[in-house]
Amino acid sequence: MPRITPNLWFDTQGLEAAEFYCSVFPNSQIKHVTHYTEAGPRPAGTVLTVEFVLDGQEFTAINGGPEFTFDEAISLAVSCADQEEVDYYWAKLSQGGEEGPCGWLKDKYGLSWQVVPEVMTDVLQGTDRGRATRAMRAMLGMKKLDIATLKAAMEGEG
């Protein structure tokens, strides 16, 4: 079975970003770093790629140059068990970045993340459309998602 490894394009910050992400997520590590050679197109010895793992998910960062940047067309979702996890990942990933609506943020490298409590996924996939609608309305008014407020909305409170 082939593996699918997301490749993240950076200008020059691939190693810095990978080290940052590994510091945020448990069970994470840098696996391998490659460098440009004399063949270029960047100076020999400059970091080319960084293979890293975030809690079991493999990624590659490539320092390809300034031609391409991240946008919201792709994001990485972090499924959180509780408010403590939501708060932790939101604080870490948004530091130096930009908070967005509905649990979305951009980190300091411009990569978009969704920090979402599992309860939100459960209710949106559930059969009770009323609960889902109330939760969605509540979520649309938030930046960082608040589980207690979402649950109250699901139950028709508040």
State pTM to two decimals: 0.93
User: What domains, with CATH codes, occur in the chain?
Assistant: 7-63 (3.30.720.100), 75-154 (3.10.180.10)
Average confidence (pLDDT) over 105-119: 97
pLDDT category at 52 given cuts 50, 70, 90 is very high
In three state form, how does the secondary structure of 89-156 look?
Answer: HHHHHHCCCEECCCCEEECCCCCEEEEEEHHHHHHHHCCCHHHHHHHHHHHHCCCCCCHHHHHHHHCC
The 10s digit of each residue's pLDDT in 58-75 is 999 999 999 999 999 999
